[in-house]
Structure 1
């Protein structure tokens, strides 16, 4: 596999860590159709805005979502370029990984 920079490794780790939670996956699924404000996401997922804020912060820090302020609400959308980067990492990993035969334990 081609080596990636330390910064890229951090981005990949951050992205996959962010994807390791059910609520954050649901948020990304909601955002796959359109930009949504916090209040809409909170309502659909039936969770408090304070709990949702934690998950959105994690997604922002992983660069998986974009945010913009409009009035008193923050609107979120997918950052497709970061999702593509994670997808590319997995594709490269799959392409360059040698599958070894299963070892039989004696």
Structure 2
């Protein structure tokens, strides 16, 4: 049975050194990073982030997100709430609609934390390989 991570309602960007920079990665940093990676580790959430990143200002209304990923609005709202609690998106109500925007600083911080200096041959391979 997988270990359950604590619920984290910390929307501040993660700030930790890359994993490869130290053998003694602090537990608090590890938990913060794991919670955010777990929130992102879902195909629907990855598709939502990708859709928002492709839009002007990296944001979209829930009314646009549901058809884009082929899910119902309540399901999309559930996924967006998870991303919001992890600090990966923010929301703003505009009239009757809610617009979600990618927190690019948080996404970049994840990339920095897990970045490895991979050989050039590995970097050029497609994801499906």
TM-score, normalised by the number of residues in structure 1:
0.78
Match of 1:76 in 2: 100
Partner of 2:83: 59
Q: Match for residue 44 of structure 1?
A: 68
- 1:16 corresponding residue in structure 2: 37
For the pair shown, the structure with the greater C-alpha radius of gyration is 1
Structure with a larger share of its residues in helix: 1
* CA–CA distance in structure 2, aligned partners of residues 68 and 5 of structure 1: 33
Aligned residues: 92
Runs of 4 or more off by more than 2 Å in structure 1? 2-5, 8-11
